[in-house]
Amino acid sequence: MKKIIYSLFVILALSCIFVSCSDDDGDAPAPAGNPAEAAAGTYTGTWCRVLNNDTVRGEGTLTIAPTDSMYCADFTFEAPTLDLKASSVANIAFAGADGKSFSFNNTLGADGLGDFYGQITNGVATVKFSKEVRVGRKRNIYNFSFEGTK
């Protein structure tokens, strides 16, 4: 009886060897080129600044410029009515096979600018980050968000 059970177990184990996953031939190829150059430009839109329950909106820009590194870009955030002028370098990558969608982020938090992340989808750029501003002895942490187009 033990021989029959062991034989069935061996046959079951061997049958699993010949099972495989489906082939990956249907995957779309990754876009070629530098994502920083493809996403470069000035996006104009609306900035939103939130502190506690106080929300202020203003027009401004997000400028993306390629750097010497293929997957890095310089990001500049400007909104004069919100006293926002900040810049940082961030990683950028293609986010789809179409070569027109991107995602970007920075977790270095340089120049008082906290971690930021965003994306560009269908020509619309969005970004979010927090920025610490000192007023006397008090520290305010503003949450910024942006949505705009080229």
CA 49, 54, 58 angle in degrees (round to 5)?
35
Residue pair 83/101 in contact by the 8 Å Cβ criterion: no
As a whole number, the mean pLDDT across the chain is 84
Q: Would you report the helix, strand and coil content of the chain in percent, each value rounded to 5? A: 20, 55, 30
Ramachandran region of residue 136, left (φ > 0), alpha (ψ -120 to 50) or beta?
left
Neighbour-count burial of 113, counting CB atoms closer than 10 A to its CB (0-12 exposed, 13-18 middle, 19+ buried): buried
pTM score, two decimals?
0.75
For residue range 47-104, what is the model confidence (pLDDT) as tens digits? 999 988 899 999 999 999 999 988 899 999 999 998 889 888 889 999 888 888 999 9
| Under 8 Å between Cβ of 149 and 124 | yes
Whether 24 has a pLDDT exceeding 60, the answer reads: no
As a CATH number, domain 34-149 is 2.40.128
| Token representation of residue 146 | 């942006």
Q: Residue 119 pLDDT more than 90?
A: yes
pLDDT at position 19: 62
pLDDT tens profile 104-118: 998 876 555 678 899
